[in-house]
Amino acid sequence: MNTPLRQATPPLADHEIPKTSALEGLRVLDIATFVAAPFCGTILADFGAEVIKVEQPGGGDSLRQFGTATECGDSLVWLSEARNKKAITLDLRKPEGVALFRQLVEKSDVVLENFRPGTLEKWGIGFEALREINPGLVMLRISAYGQTGPKRGEPGFARIAHAFAGLSWLAGEADGPPVVPGSTSMADYVSGMWGAIGVLTALRAREKTGKGQFIDLGLYESVFRLLDEIAPAYAKFGTVRERMGADTVNVVPHSHYRTRTGEWVALACTNDKMFLRLADVMGSPELAREFQTSAIRVANRQYINTVVSTWMGKHSLTEVLEKTRAGEVPCAQIYSIKEIFEDEQYKARGNLLHVHDLRAGDLVVPAPLPRLSETPPTFRHAGRALGADNESVYGGLLGLSSEEVRAASARGVI
């Protein structure tokens, strides 16, 4: 049912390709759009899966035009997040397109989709229909609110997920409005990560049962699952956590402070031992005796924050970092992307991958994660041009002749 991968394209980065990729032989059809489900495909592709990106003929995935444009016509987001994927076009709304898709599904392991619930069923390619031709198929289904419930058919993006999940309510100053919690696309990326966990878990189960299954994931669920104790705290005590700016609900000092030279740093004192160290660093060991426990410090939040803020304001960034490092107190400068590019830790870990793309030239993209000692992830190429792999996939995988591929393209099927 599943055919092995062909030899991978040589990498464009100066990194050694492992002899065996962790997911070599796994074939994935990515028919999703934007980031959420496609990011799952990016993760799988980084580890050697053959991920075939399926796009609408003519325009392709809207992600190609989302973000900063480049000279090749595709955005930087596309070049980075469609990495390592083959690119084909196929109109799933046409019967001939559906027929070709069913042939691809028969030879694949995984399908990634994020259409509104019911859309694929309307086209005759829902999970139940596809599992008839491939009983081992694993399908990831990501939508705004999941496949069930009263809101199942409503549209949504990451910003909506942040709001509905309760994250936006927590983001911002106590006396200010809710703000964007960091990246506006966070729910998309987190959903892609949850999706990868689901796909790999389902594939592991298939090894035991021989049966595929679908993974049902709502964007908001991916975010809600990360919000520590807000659910049990409300259920047990009726606690509604409010916005606290940079502070943390149950520990102090655990916030952001400004140095004498104007930079901001993040400080994390998560327990009593850590506060004892900080008190020594600040030259005020009596603070640790007076405010021995987290509960006492939380009750005196404003005073503790004022003391720490005053100390920070008397020292330069270099002094703060040197003193906290010597005292083993977790503290770091709050970076912009400028500082990230200059930092030696990022360089030592290879977190910024310098590659050359034949269409867009020199690029710097986030390196793939996580690191595996024996079968590490790799970067083989940036996001491909629309339909770049039509000939190789339809010809090499499905056996269509060049004339048949051209004819299907002329009819708008691919």
Residues noted as catalytic:
188
Q: What phi and psi, each to the nearest 5 degrees, are found at residue 302?
A: -65, -40
Give the count of beta carbons closer than 10 Å to the beta carbon of residue 276.
18
What tokens were used for 195? 């999706």
- 124's CB contacts (< 8 A; 6+ apart) are 98
Place of tokens 């590019």: 341
> How far is residue 260 from each of residues 236, 256, 343, measured CA to CA in Å?
43, 14, 21
DSSP character at residue 166: T
Q: With beta carbons less than 8 A apart as the criterion, state whether 410 and 57 touch.
A: no
Compute the C-alpha angle 305/307/312, nearest 5°. 90
Instruction: Please tell me the distance from the alpha carbon of residue 222 to that of residue 160, in angstroms, as a whole number.
Output: 12
Count of positions (residues) in the chain: 414
Q: What phi and psi, each to the nearest 5 degrees, are found at residue 375?
A: -130, 70
